[in-house]
Amino acid sequence: MGSKKFFILTFGCQMNVYDSGRIAQILTARNYQPVHDPAGADLILLNTCSVREKPEKKVYSALGRFRTLKRKKPGLLIGVAGCVAQQEGEGLLARVPYLDFVLGTKELKKIPEILDRLERTAGRACAVALDGRIDPYRELPLFPAPGGPTAFVSTMQGCDNFCSFCVVPFVRGREVSRPSQDIREEIKALSEKGVKEVTLLGQNVNSYGRGTPGEPDFVGLLESIEKIPGIERIRFTTSHPKDLSAGLIGAFGRLSRLCEHIHLPLQSGSNHILERMNRGYTKEEYLERVQRLRAACPGISITTDIIVGFPGETEEDFRQTLEMLERIQFEEMFSFRYSDRPGTRASTFPAKIQEGSKQKRLTELQALQRGITQRRYKTWEGREAEILVEGPSKAGGEEKTGRTRANHIVNFPGASIAVGALVRVRIQKALAHSLRGELI
């Protein structure tokens, strides 16, 4: 019998991208092969995100599209994994009658068992246990296959911070660090397959190792990864401003492979809103951390996340966010309109902001940051940078694309340059969200 085909559609953050890689490996070990067109698949899996209303809605519209495929091919299995699966559980089976299975964020190990059952007999399955501080990757035998010279590596699961707007602690469970030995072995295996850059993932990497006796802290983990041969660049995401340690600040500029970029979500520039968000820092503390980062590592690129229209956010609160953007001069910003998430404290807060006002604030915020990003990108013109070549550029042709250590995308003519090469380029021109360069 020929092998079966699977198609995975991934929504949400890098953790989901990582998990989809692990799922693909589990399926490949079961004689399934990946396909790029869902119409040819025997199994379609949606790996979902529920962090905001918009990504969650996308899941339902995607499911709607797959319904017709299922009508044409009754043997087709459709499953939902990830954070919406965790959030909705059995309810998702009730809501989507043609759905075959629901798989929670810590249940990847159950995939073989569920497929064994559903391939043989008609029926439906739901596995969404989330208890305890269990590392969900421990029971999975294989390392993720690299898709190029860069790879994500999970260092921890879950989050204990309970920011009042955030669903992550409810859908990813309590914080649990992976054993550092597992992380290093995974990175060694990736390196042997040609990976040059790893991005370490965790909702708050600063608490890596907390509550795990005998394990290093995050800086210790970084130091041990520095020594793995073949790994030229290390990145991580995300670090929470409230516990950005002096040790981690000092690691920038000290560890030669740690790239000069940090994603440090500010969320709001108003102390009143930060407190209601339960973020655990004031804008003054945030500013002080930014200053220390820039003192330790002058070239560091700082990017952020902002939420506009949090319940009770006044025009004055919003002005303070704009002011923080002016003062800090972030390299890039990701910004979102606040949306209520099930089970969160903020969803019960009064003084919800109208969608129209949220949109107006978002537009103003993004216009301000666009100018700042442009000015910062402009400072790169004429300078040299080291690029890790990631593949052909979107424009196609002879163009290649890669990133600087500070995480700027650079496109350059480089027909003969191999993917995975570290090259030096001179930046010629700054565009809206990328740079153009030429090989030196």
Which partner, ligand SF4, ligand SAH, ligand F3S, none, binds residue 169 by CB below 5 to 8 Å per kind? ligand SF4
Instruction: Between 165 and 236, name the residue whose CB sits nearer to ligand SAH.
Output: 165
Nearest to 101 by CA among 45, 30, 50: 45
334 interacts with ligand SF4 by CB under 6 A? no
Q: How far is the CB of 168 from ligand F3S (least distance, A)?
A: 5
Q: Rounded to 5 degrees, what angle do the CA atoms 289, 244, 405 make?
A: 80
The SS3 of residue 308 is strand
Q: Which of the choices ligand F3S, ligand SF4, ligand SAH, none does residue 155 contact, using the CB cut-off of 5 to 8 A by kind?
A: none
Determine if 15 is a binding residue for ligand F3S (CB under 6 A): yes
How many of the chain's residues bind ligand F3S (CB under 6 A)? 13
160 binds ligand SAH (CB under 6 A): no
Distance of alpha carbon 127 from its chain centroid, rounded?
Answer: 24
SS3 string, 193-248, reads CCCCEEEEECCCHHHCCCCCCCCCCHHHHHHHHHCCCCCCEEEEECCCHHHCCHHH
Q: Kindly identify the residues of this chain, within the stretch 232-261, that bind ligand SAH according to CB under 6 A.
A: 238, 240
CB of 34 to ligand SAH, least distance (A): 27
- Give the H or E element holding residue 51: none
When the beta carbons of 10 and 164 are compared against ligand SF4, the nearer one is 164
Q: Which of 150, 161, 320, 393 binds ligand SF4 (CB under 6 A)?
A: 161
- Among ligand F3S, ligand SF4, ligand SAH, none, the one that 305 touches (CB under a kind-dependent 5 to 8 A) is ligand SAH
Could you tell me if 373 and 348 are in contact, meaning their C-beta atoms sit under 8 angstroms apart?
Answer: no
50 touches ligand SF4 by CB under 6 A: no
> Cα separation of 241 and 161, whole Å?
12
The residue sitting closest to ligand F3S, measured at its beta carbon, is 12
**Least separation, in Å, of the C-beta of 162 and ligand SAH?**
11
Measured distance CA(47)–CA(63) in Å, rounded:
11
DSSP category for residue 379 = T
Residue 55, amino acid = P
CB atoms within 10 A of CB 82: 28
| C-alpha span between 200 and 384 (Å, rounded) | 26
Cα dihedral 210, 214, 217, 221 sign: negative
CA 36 to chain centre: 22
Shortest spacing between CB 297 and ligand SF4, in angstroms: 23
Instruction: Examine residue 307 and tell whether it contacts ligand SAH (CB under 6 A).
Output: yes
Select from 78, 99, 115, 166 the one that contacts ligand SF4 (CB under 6 A). 166
CB of 82 to ligand SAH, least distance (A): 14
Q: Name residues contacting ligand SAH, limited to 25-64 (CB under 6 A).
A: 51-52
Q: Which two tokens stand for residue 341?
A: 């998430």
Contact footprint for ligand SAH (CB under 6 A)? 51-52, 165-166, 168, 203-204, 238, 240, 265, 267, 305, 307, 336, 338-339, 341
Q: Which residues bind ligand SF4 (CB under 6 A)?
A: 159, 161-163, 166, 168-169, 203-204, 240
